[in-house]
Every structure is written in structure tokens, then in C-alpha cells.
Amino acid sequence: MSTLTHLMTAQELGEMDDGSNRHQLIKGELLTMPPAKYEHMRVGANLTIILGQYVKANRLGVVGTEGGYKLESDPDTLLAPDVSFVAQDRIRLSPEGYHSGPPDLAIEVLSPGDRKGYIDRKLLLWLGTGTRSVWLVDPRRRTVEVISSLNDRRTFHETDELVDHTVPGFRVKVSEIFA
């Protein structure tokens, strides 16, 4: 006996009325996450301010928070990084109102409950659909891992200066992200 499972579309996700949780789709499967805890929120806000001011001052594109990126269709994959950057010439919306395609930079702030398999799956989706760089920001270890491919992973510690050419000219002391 087989069971049919309804795969959700990006449009259906956008029409959901559930303001207390965050949602994403992977291959049509709905993933539900609880609201971010304080440290996650604080670090994400720091990154948004630091990166956003730089990008805006240099007219490089758009920095967003928790916005949806439609990466695949039929079945739909829609992910929402904690912070993202899209270069000016790549901004485009899908019919559902999400960004069509990946961001240039996806930033994921790790939470204590995040499972390695879940993070790895999202990392593969980001890189596999064209994201140029992913930052895994770990507030507990106070590190930022910059991943441009599975063979190009660099970890920056609190005493380091983070440099990633995905955002031209951008540099920041890792300690400022966690301040």
C-alpha cells in the first residue's frame, strides 16, 4: 500500500497563516523552525547592520534578512537564510514574490539545536544552485566559516579579519559580529 504525500509549493507556503514559526521548503517538503532565540537574533542583526551599511554605501546590491529564495521548481525548494546579499545586477523576483534563484551570499547563524545533517543539506543546496559563498556563523565558538565550494572552506576566528570577495572590498573584524 502506498501513501500519497502532498508536496507544498512556494505559492502555498506564501499563503500560509502561521506567524509564530519560520518555514522553508526542500523539494516540496515543509520544514518548520521555532522563532530564533536571543543570541541568534542579536548576531544576525549585527551582521545585517555591518554588511548592510557597507553594501548600501557602495551601491553593491541588497542585503536582506530571512527572505525567501526560490532555488528549484517542481518540486519547489525555497530557503531563507538569516542574512543574505544579492548583487545589484542579479535582483529578480519569482511570480510568488520571492527572489528567483540563489543569493550571491547566504549567511546562516547556527543555533545550539541545529543538526549537522540539516546544515550540510542546506549548504549543498545553496552551493549546488549557484550561491557563490555561504557563511556559517557560530555564536558559541565565535567563528565564521566561509564556504565557496566543498573544497574551499576557511574558518575565521574572533581575532581575525573576515574577507570574502563575494562582496567586493568588504572586510570586518570577526569580533565585531559578536560584539
Residue 33 has pLDDT above 50, yes or no: yes
Percent of the chain scoring above 70 in pLDDT? 93
Under DSSP, is residue 60 helix (H, G, I), strand (E, B) or coil? coil
pLDDT one-digit tens code per residue, 136-171: 999 999 999 999 998 999 999 999 999 999 999 999
pLDDT of residue 2: 46
The reply to whether CATH 3.90.1570.10 applies to domain 10-177 is yes
pLDDT one-digit tens code per residue, 66-89: 888 988 888 888 889 999 999 988
- Give the residue extent of every domain in the chain: 10-177
Instruction: Write down the number of H helices and E strands in the chain.
Output: 4, 13
Q: How confident is the model at residue 16 (pLDDT cuts 50, 70, 90)?
A: confident
For cell 544576525, the residue is 44
Beta-ladder partners of 145: 136, 155
Residue 47 has pLDDT above 90, yes or no: yes
Number of neighbouring beta carbons within 10 Å of residue 165: 11
pLDDT one-digit tens code per residue, 111-132: 887 888 888 988 999 999 999 9
pLDDT of residue 18: 65
Residue 69, classified by CB atoms within 10 Å of its CB into exposed (0-12), middle (13-18) or buried (19+), is buried
